């Protein structure tokens, strides 16, 4: 008999039906030479500290770091889980071979391998690896079973991830709780959750310490079109009024009028993060809820495997595209326009190099029925996005007009959609005219109405779930370009399948809270990050690099032994540094007394030791330039800012670095 083990009872039922294993037994199906059983997700977990050493049961600084010589697994303490495992264990001993039918991803591999390991399986192992649960996909998958050993590196990466989370979570949580907790409060620290919380807390401080500045912009209205002066921001009202006076009574002259046809490409197909981002923006769904709805659509055979981090399809999918489009009958008004023609094949959609285990999330072509409102919304987004990539580009006309008043240049731009192309699938989003402008002629002149607009600089925006997911994907870096974001995914915080759970964990532990769509750090979360000054725990970039190492294990570029050695060293150093109160901190320390720095009031970063007389400060705004925390860190680390700026009241109008020495000199004068 061949034993198939699925990850859920519903999937096992589908597989059993297709294989002809129609007899229901207690905990499995039987028939046609197959047993088909299942897990309930994770049946096993890594052992607790006291399972290795009784000394580790009590929380004590003396027991840290806890580094087991070899990690072990155990069954979760649940009657239903124990009963199901016993069923699988008996079948493993009696079967001829095992087919791993778990979810086709790192977590799915880990779940199944742990169960087989605990069941002491020595039977030949095959792997069912599919991206869809349709009958066609399952049959094709069984015709092309893979050797189980082909996925050993995937399992190794999953094991290293679990071990890394255990090592850092168990040690750091006890370490910071014992050192800084008090009143019985546990300070929960984790490899992914802490840098995510640190990003939210840093944004909180940036907003709280933000001082709005007033500036002015010179505009004028000519032929009912608003033109902006190309000088940009004007620092004072007096300078603005001088400019208004200089053009008063002058005629506006059109210096150039240019119309260029351009195109807008269809958006990329969805990976898990991008569908979570869009659902949060358009429907207010949380990342966790979106993942749940996509997972339900997958289990209902309506969409392909959801836990993916690619927006591309492999070339072998192209011949199936027409068939999928033909089955999408609810969208017949759109699909009819492309089925009769040669279906577009773009490198921005089909690229084997950008697809590893799975392709982007797309509909399977099965008819959607009995869906909840949210499931319909998510299915509609996936289906429209899929159809749109085979539509023509959207053709637009970009208009740019340059006008002159005295020696000042003014500019206005507009856009007009000439042919909607793929945007036809999104009529509501295209209902507004995109700044269509009348025709102008070079050299024409006329009266205008100048105006000086007073404006104020705005603080950074609070994270929403959508923007937080993007920040986790790019390790905290602001990246708007799709191509660049794709390149940075390897260094993101966490994986697409785990980010929603990390965010929910922070909510559950009261470190963050929702205020409408905004995600705001609580006083508990702010206090925790204030106590942690370790780059290892707080830096999104360092955590992203660690994530890259886990991916390297998956591809064979890094040995698991190397990762574990580095992990042991990291945890040992962290414990030592915290015990001795010498955490490696960012943004660096006070250059005068070597203590840490904090935001001091609403105007500057100041020394933590100010109560004992240290008066060192870095102003938030220096000679008209607003310094970010990153630039403050650069000042302290290198003595100058990373970027060059044009300083107010400077003898030179050229951009220059701001030096720490100059700031200190001004303060001492």
Can you give the residue ranges of every domain in the chain? 2-144, 161-209+460-579, 214-265+394-456, 272-388, 597-668
Is the pLDDT at 611 greater than 70? The verdict is no
Is the pLDDT at 80 greater than 90? The verdict is yes
Q: Per-residue confidence at 669, pLDDT binned at 50, 70, 90?
A: very low
Angle at 598 between CA 595 and CA 600, to 5 degrees: 120
Is the pLDDT at 429 greater than 80? The verdict is no
- Rounded Cα distance between 583 and 589, Å, is 11
Inter-axis angle of helices 318-327 and 332-339, to 10 degrees? Answer: 140
- Rounded Cα distance between 234 and 215, Å, is 6
- Regarding predicted confidence, which is higher, 431 or 79? 79
Is the pLDDT at 583 greater than 70? The verdict is no
- Rounded Cα distance between 341 and 362, Å, is 21
Is the pLDDT at 59 greater than 50? The verdict is yes
Output the pLDDT for position 589: 64
Is the pLDDT at 110 greater than 80? The verdict is yes
Q: Two tokens at 325? A: 């489009």
Output the pLDDT for position 366: 93
DSSP-based three-state secondary structure for 179:
helix
- Rounded Cα distance between 149 and 156, Å, is 11
Select from 3.30.70.360, 3.40.50.1820, 3.40.640.10, 3.40.50.140 the CATH code of 2-144.
3.40.50.140
Output the pLDDT for position 239: 93
- Rounded Cα distance between 151 and 134, Å, is 23
- Rounded Cα distance between 533 and 610, Å, is 18
- Rounded Cα distance between 490 and 548, Å, is 5
Within 10 Å of residue 266's Cβ, how many Cβ atoms? 22
Is the pLDDT at 453 greater than 90? The verdict is yes
Residue written as tokens 């192992």? 125
**pLDDT > 90: percent of the chain:** 66
β partners of residue 453: 217
Of 220-229, 385-394, 457-466, 634-643, give the lowest mean pLDDT range: 634-643
Output the pLDDT for position 496: 87
- Our measurement of the distance from residue 424's CA atom to the centroid of its chain's CA atoms, rounded to an integer in Å, reads 29
Q: Per-residue confidence at 31, pLDDT binned at 50, 70, 90?
A: very high
Output the pLDDT for position 37: 98
Is the pLDDT at 665 greater than 70? The verdict is no
Output the pLDDT for position 586: 41
Is the pLDDT at 513 greater than 90? The verdict is yes
Q: Is 495 left (phi over 0), alpha (psi -120 to 50) or beta?
A: beta
Q: Per-residue confidence at 412, pLDDT binned at 50, 70, 90?
A: very high
CB–CB of 277/503 below 8 Å?
A: no
Of 2-16, 521-535, 580-594, give the lowest mean pLDDT range: 580-594
Of 15-29, 90-104, 417-431, 492-506, give the lowest mean pLDDT range: 417-431
β partners of residue 557: none
Q: Per-residue confidence at 398, pLDDT binned at 50, 70, 90?
A: very high
Q: Which residues make Cβ contacts (< 8 Å) with residue 318, sequence separation at least 6? A: 343, 345, 350
Query: In a 10 Å sphere around its CB, with 0-12 CB exposed, 13-18 middle and 19+ buried, how is residue 70 labelled?
Result: exposed
Q: Which of 661, 627, 635 is nearest to 210 (CA)?
A: 627
Share the mean pLDDT of the chain: 89
Q: What is the mean pLDDT of residues 627-653?
A: 77
Output the pLDDT for position 637: 76
Maximum C-alpha span of the chain: 97
Tell me the CATH number for domain 272-388. Answer: 1.10.290.10
CA distances from 60 to 65, 70, 178, 181, 391 (A): 10, 22, 7, 13, 63
- Rounded Cα distance between 532 and 584, Å, is 9
Q: Per-residue b/e over 324-356, b at no fewer than 16 CB within 10 Å?
A: bbeebeebeebbeebbeeeebeeebbbbeebbe
DSSP-based three-state secondary structure for 83:
helix
Tell me the CATH number for domain 161-209+460-579. Answer: 1.10.460.10
Output the pLDDT for position 511: 95
Output the pLDDT for position 623: 83
- Rounded Cα distance between 521 and 526, Å, is 6
Angle at 42 between CA 36 and CA 46, to 5 degrees: 130
Of 182-191, 241-250, 259-268, give the lowest mean pLDDT range: 182-191
Global pTM value: 0.80
Output the pLDDT for position 183: 72
Is the pLDDT at 613 greater than 80? The verdict is no
CB–CB of 406/367 below 8 Å?
A: no
User: What is the per-residue DSSP string for 128-186?
Assistant: ---S--SHHHHHHHHHTPEEGGGGHHHHHHHHHHHHHHHHHHHHHHHHHIIIII-TT--
Q: Per-residue confidence at 382, pLDDT binned at 50, 70, 90?
A: very high
Of 292-296, 572-576, 577-581, give the lowest mean pLDDT range: 577-581
Q: Two tokens at 497? A: 């399948």
Q: What is the mean pLDDT of residues 104-113?
A: 92
Does the domain made of 214-265+394-456 have the CATH classification 2.70.20.10? yes
Output the pLDDT for position 638: 80
CB–CB of 338/391 below 8 Å?
A: yes
β partners of residue 645: 656
Is the pLDDT at 668 greater than 60? The verdict is no
Q: Which residues are catalytic?
A: 305
- Rounded Cα distance between 612 and 526, Å, is 24
- Rounded Cα distance between 616 and 599, Å, is 12
- Rounded Cα distance between 443 and 446, Å, is 10
- Rounded Cα distance between 295 and 299, Å, is 6
CB–CB of 315/352 below 8 Å?
A: yes
- Regarding predicted confidence, which is higher, 432 or 576? 576
Domains 161-209+460-579 and 272-388 belong to one CATH topology: no
- Rounded Cα distance between 472 and 664, Å, is 36
Q: Per-residue confidence at 227, pLDDT binned at 50, 70, 90?
A: very high
CB–CB of 327/365 below 8 Å?
A: yes
Kind plus residue range of the DSSP H or E element containing 261: strand 252-264
CB–CB of 571/171 below 8 Å?
A: yes
The 10s digit of each residue's pLDDT in 329-364 is 999 999 999 998 899 999 999 999 888 778 999 999
β partners of residue 252: 446
Q: What is the mean pLDDT of residues 231-254?
A: 92
**pLDDT > 70: percent of the chain:** 92
CB–CB of 309/495 below 8 Å?
A: yes
Q: Per-residue confidence at 585, pLDDT binned at 50, 70, 90?
A: very low
Inter-axis angle of helices 629-638 and 193-208, to 10 degrees? Answer: 100
Output the pLDDT for position 635: 82
């Amino acid at each position: 008999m061949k034993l198939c083990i699925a990850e859920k009872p519903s999937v096992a039922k589908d597989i059993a039906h297709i294989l002809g294993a129609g007899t229901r037994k207690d905990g499995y199906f039987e028939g046609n030479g197959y047993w088909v059983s299942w897990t309930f997700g994770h049946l096993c977990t890594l052992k607790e500290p006291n399972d290795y050493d009784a000394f580790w049961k009590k929380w004590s600084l003396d027991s840290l770091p806890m580094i087991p010589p070899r990690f072990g697994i155990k069954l979760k303490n649940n009657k239903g889980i124990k009963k199901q495992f016993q069923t699988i264990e008996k079948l493993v001993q009696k079967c001829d071979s095992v087919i791993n039918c778990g979810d086709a991803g790192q977590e799915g591999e880990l779940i199944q391998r742990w169960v087989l390991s605990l069941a002491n399986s020595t039977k030949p192992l095959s792997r069912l690896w599919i991206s869809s649960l349709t009958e066609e996909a399952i049959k094709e998958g069984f015709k092309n079973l893979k050797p189980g050993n082909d996925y050993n590196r995937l399992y190794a990466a999953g094991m290293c991830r679990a071990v890394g989370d255990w090592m850092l979570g168990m040690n750091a949580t006890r370490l910071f709780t014992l050192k800084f907790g008090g009143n019985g409060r546990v300070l929960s620290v984790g490899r992914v959750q802490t840098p995510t919380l640190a990003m939210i807390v840093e944004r909180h401080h940036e907003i709280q310490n933000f001082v709005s500045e007033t500036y002015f912009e010179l505009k004028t209205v000519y032929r009912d079109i608003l033109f902006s002066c190309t000088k940009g921001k004007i620092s004072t009202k007096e300078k603005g009024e001088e400019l208004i006076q200089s053009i008063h009574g002058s005629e506006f002259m059109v210096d150039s009028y240019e119309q260029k046809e351009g195109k807008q490409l269809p958006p990329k197909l969805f990976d898990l993060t991008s569908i979570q981002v869009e659902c949060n923006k358009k429907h207010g769904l949380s990342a966790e809820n979106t993942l749940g709805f996509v997972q339900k659509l997958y289990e209902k055979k309506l969409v392909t495997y959801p836990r993916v981090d690619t927006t591309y399809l492999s070339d072998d999918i192209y011949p199936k595209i027409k068939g999928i489009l033909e089955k999408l009958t609810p969208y017949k008004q759109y699909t009819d326009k492309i089925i009769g023609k040669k279906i577009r094949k773009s490198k921005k959609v089909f690229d084997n190099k950008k697809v590893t285990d799975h392709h982007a999330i797309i509909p399977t072509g099965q008819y959607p029925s009995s869906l909840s409102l949210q499931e319909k919304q998510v299915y509609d987004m996936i289906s429209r996005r899929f159809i749109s990539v085979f539509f023509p580009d959207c053709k637009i006309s970009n208009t740019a007009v340059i006008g002159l008043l005295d020696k000042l240049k003014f500019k206005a731009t507009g856009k007009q959609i000439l042919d909607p192309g793929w945007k036809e699938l999104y009529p509501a989003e295209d209902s507004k005219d995109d700044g269509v402008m009348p025709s102008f002629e070079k050299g024409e002149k006329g009266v205008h109405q100048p105006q000086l607009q007073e404006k104020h600089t705005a603080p950074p925006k609070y994270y929403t779930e959508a923007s937080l997911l993007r920040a986790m994907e790019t390790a905290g870096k602001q990246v708007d370009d799709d191509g660049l974001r794709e390149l940075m995914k390897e260094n993101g915080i966490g994986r697409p399948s785990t980010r929603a759970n990390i965010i929910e964990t922070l909510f559950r532990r009261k470190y963050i809270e929702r205020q409408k769509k905004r995600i705001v750090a609580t006083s508990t979360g702010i206090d925790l990050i204030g106590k942690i000054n370790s780059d290892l725990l707080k830096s999104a970039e360092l955590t992203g690099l660690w994530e890259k190492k886990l991916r390297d294990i998956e591809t064979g570029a890094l040995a698991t032994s190397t990762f574990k050695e580095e992990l042991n060293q990291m945890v040992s150093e962290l414990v030592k540094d915290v015990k001795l109160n010498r955490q490696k901190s960012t943004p660096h320390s006070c250059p005068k007394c070597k203590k840490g720095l904090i935001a001091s009031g609403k105007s500057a970063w100041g020394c933590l030791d100010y109560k004992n007389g240290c008066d060192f400060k870095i102003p938030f705004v220096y000679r008209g330039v607003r310094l970010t925390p990153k630039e403050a860190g650069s000042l302290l680390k290198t003595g100058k800012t990373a970027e060059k700026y044009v300083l107010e009241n400077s003898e030179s109008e050229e951009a220059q670095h701001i030096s720490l020495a100059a700031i200190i000199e001004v303060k001492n004068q």
